[in-house]
Structure 1
Amino acid sequence: MEVVTIRIGFIGAGKVGFSLGKYFRDNNLNVIGYYSKNLDSAKEAAEFTDSKYYYDMENLVKECDTIFITTPDETIKKIWSSVKQLSIKGKIICHCSGSLSSRVFSNIEYYNSYGYSIHPMFAFNHKYNSYNDLDKAFFTIEGPLEKMDIIKNLILGIGNKIKVISAENKVKYHVASVIASNHVIALVQVAVEDLKQCGFNEEDALESLYPLISNNIKNIGSDGIINSLTGPIERADGGTIKNHLECLGDEDRELYKLLSRKLIRIAKKKNKDRNYRQIEDMIGD
C-alpha cells in the first residue's frame, strides 16, 4: 500500500494515542511522533510506534500537518488554547472525544485551520494490545466540509467504516455508545452479584455468563435485534416474570422493570399476534 503523505502527530500518549498511532503506523500512515506533558510517556509511545518524541508542542506542530489530540476530554480545550498560539495555518486539528464536537476548537477559522472530532467506537483498555482489534472499529467524523474528504479517505483507506455526524448529535451519539459499552458492564455486574448469591464465586459467575453474553451479541450481529430476542418477556411468561420480581431487591427490581418495558416493545414487533397485556400490567408504565 502506498504511504499516505499527510504527516500525523499526537498530543497525548495514553491508551488512545498509543493505539491509534500504532494502528495508523501498521497501516502505512505517516505517524511523525508524540508530545506529552509526561516526557516518558511520549518516549514510550514513540518507541512503540517507531516514531519520534518531542520535548515541546511547538516542534511537533511544526513538523506535522494533521494533529490528533488524544487526551482526556476535560483537557482538550486547554490544549487548544496552547495549540492556537502556534503556527497552524492550513493544518488539520483533531480530537478523539466521543461527546465533544469540533466546536471545542473555538474560532479555529480565524487561524485558517480546520477542526474535526474523529471518534472510534471502541473500548481502549490497554496501551499495548488494543490496536490489534481496531480494524473492527467503526469511526464517526464531525467537522467542516473543507477537509472532510481528506479525513474520510484517511479512515476509509485503512479499511474502517465511517459515519459523518453533526455537532448537534455528538452528545446523543455518545450516550448510545456509553449505553452499549459501559452500561453493559453494570448489567453484567448485577448478574454476577445474583449468581454469587446462588453460591458461585466471581470467576465462575463470569465464566458461566460469558457464552450467554457473547452468543447474544453474535446473534444481534447476524440476525438483528428483534430476531435475537428470547426469554420470558418474549414468551410473555407472566409466571416467571412474577417470580423474578419477587426475588429481587428494590433497586434491581426497578432496573428489571425498566429494561423489561423496553423489551416488551421489541417483543411486540417480533410477535405481533401475542398478547403482552398481563406482563405489561406486572411491569407497569
Structure 2
Amino acid sequence: MTQKPRTAIIGAGKVGSALAILLKARGYPLAGIASKSFASACRLADLTGAPAFDSPLPLVDSAELVFITTPDREIAPVSAYLAEAGAYHPGQVVAHTSGAHSADELLGARQAGALAVSIHPLQSFADLDTARRNLPGSYFALEGDAAALPLAEQIVSDLGGKSFHIRAQDKPLYHAAACIASNYLVALLHFATGLYEKFGLTRQEAFAALQPLVQGTLNNIAAVGPVQALTGPIARGDIPTLRGHLPALEEAGSQLAHLYRALGQYTVKIALEKGTIDHRQALALAEVLKEEKQYEQPKSDHGLLPAGQTGGTAADNAYRL
C-alpha cells in the first residue's frame, strides 16, 4: 500500500504506545490517541504529535484503521461501546493486539461493516523503551477477516517484523506456547537463582553467574534446534547424577523437587528423540524421576509462601503446581 491508513490508537499502554510511535515514524498518519486515562493519552500524544481525546468516539469515527490496545479483558466491552455508539463504519479495519483472543472479540465491528483482525506481536514488553526496541524484528500472529490480512501483513512489514497466519480456534494453544517460552523461562530462572541463594549468592549474583550458560544454550538452540541442543545428565543417561540432585532439592523444598522431577520427565522424551539414550535408559531415568511421595503444600520457611500464610486458602492454592 502506498497510502497509509489514518490510524486511531485506543489504549496508551506499553504496546499501544510503541505501536503509535513506530507507526508514526513509518508514515502512518495518526488520527489521535484515546485511553482510559486521559493523562496517559496526553503523554503519548506528546511523544507522537497526535491529538489526545478524552473519548474514543470522534477519534474512531475519523479513522480508517483502529487499534484497540487495551488490556485483554477490556477489548470486547470497548469494541461493543464503539459499535453501539455508531463509531464504526464500512471500510474500516479494526484490530486488537491480544495473543489469547481472536478477532471475534471485536464486538460489533463486523456488524457495522468494518473488518476485524488480531495482530499479536510474539514478544514481551517490560516497559515502553523495550517495546519500541523489541517490536522491530519480532514475529506477529495474524488472524481474522481475509480481506483485512493484506493490511495486517503490510503493518507488520512496515514495523520490520515477520508474520504468520493462525486460525481463531488455535489462539489459546498459540498463546499458551508463548507463555511457556517467555513467562515460564522467567519462572525457571527465578527457580534456579533461588537455589543459588541457598548457598550464599544473591539472586543478582546468581543471575550474573548463570546468564552466560543461558545465553550459550539459546545460541545452541538457534544453531541446531532444541532437540540437538540438549545436554546434561538426562541426555547422557546419567542416573547417579540425578540421584545426587534429588535429595538436595527435597531438602530445599518439596515444591522445588516436584518441579525438577516434572521437567526431568519431559526432558527424558527429548533425550530419547535426540537418540542419546535408548528406551531402556529412558524407562530407568523415568523411574528415578518418579514422585516418591504425595506432593505436599510447601512450608513458608522454604520461601515459597509469605510468612504467616498457611495451607487451605485460595492464596495458598495459587502456589500449587
Structure 2-normalised TM-score?
0.84
Name 1:256's counterpart in structure 2. Answer: 260
TM superposition shift of 1:184: 1.1
Deviates more, 1:110-119 or 1:100-109: 100-109
Show CA shifts across 1:70-106 (max 9, x none). Answer: 1111111110121112232221111111101111123
Unaligned ranges ≥5, structure 2: 292-321
Q: 1: distance between equivalents of 2:136 and 2:275?
A: 37
Q: 2: distance between equivalents of 1:158 and 1:135?
A: 5
Name 1:181's counterpart in structure 2. Answer: 182
TM superposition shift of 1:180: 0.7
Name 1:59's counterpart in structure 2. Answer: 58
Aligned to 2:8, the other structure's residue is in SS state strand
- What letter is aligned with 1:269? E
Name 2:14's counterpart in structure 1. Answer: 15
Name 1:158's counterpart in structure 2. Answer: 159
Q: 2: distance between equivalents of 1:124 and 1:98?
A: 13
Name 1:47's counterpart in structure 2. Answer: 46
Name 1:33's counterpart in structure 2. Answer: 32
Name 1:70's counterpart in structure 2. Answer: 69
Provide closer, same or farther for how the CA distance between residues 235 and 4 of structure 1 changes in structure 2, counting only shifts above 3 A.
farther
Q: 2: distance between equivalents of 1:79 and 1:110?
A: 15
Deviates more, 1:242-251 or 1:127-136: 127-136
- What letter is aligned with 2:79? W
Show CA shifts across 1:28-66 (max 9, x none). Answer: 333332101211111111111232212321221122111
Name 1:205's counterpart in structure 2. Answer: 206
Q: 1: distance between equivalents of 2:2 and 2:129?
A: 23
Name 1:149's counterpart in structure 2. Answer: 150
Name 1:87's counterpart in structure 2. Answer: 87
Correspondence list, 1:104-119, <5 A:
104-119=105-120
TM superposition shift of 1:4: 4.2
Q: 1: distance between equivalents of 2:193 and 2:228?
A: 26
Structure 1-normalised TM-score?
0.94
Name 2:297's counterpart in structure 1. Answer: none
Q: 1: distance between equivalents of 2:17 and 2:81?
A: 22
Name 1:266's counterpart in structure 2. Answer: 270
Q: 2: distance between equivalents of 1:79 and 1:50?
A: 24
Instruction: Tell me whether 1:282 sits opposite 2:316 in the alignment.
Output: no
Provide closer, same or farther for how the CA distance between residues 272 and 138 of structure 1 changes in structure 2, counting only shifts above 3 A.
same
Name 2:319's counterpart in structure 1. Answer: none
Q: 2: distance between equivalents of 1:140 and 1:80?
A: 21
Q: Percent identity?
A: 28
Provide closer, same or farther for how the CA distance between residues 131 and 270 of structure 1 changes in structure 2, counting only shifts above 3 A.
same
Name 2:194's counterpart in structure 1. Answer: 193
- Whether contact under 8 Å (2:34, 2:41) holds in the other structure is yes
- What letter is aligned with 1:245? L
Q: 1: distance between equivalents of 2:169 and 2:130?
A: 33
Show CA shifts across 1:162-184 (max 9, x none). Answer: 11111101111110011111111
- What letter is aligned with 1:281? E
Provide closer, same or farther for how the CA distance between residues 3 and 43 of structure 1 changes in structure 2, counting only shifts above 3 A.
farther
- Tell me the C-alpha RMSD between the 2 structures: 1.8
- What letter is aligned with 1:118? I
TM superposition shift of 1:18: 0.9
Show CA shifts across 1:179-235 (max 9, x none). Answer: 111111111111111000011012211111111112211221222111111111111
Q: 2: distance between equivalents of 1:46 and 1:256?
A: 48
Q: 2: distance between equivalents of 1:212 and 1:4?
A: 47
TM superposition shift of 1:133: 2.2
Q: 1: distance between equivalents of 2:87 and 2:225?
A: 49
Q: 1: distance between equivalents of 2:277 and 2:127?
A: 48
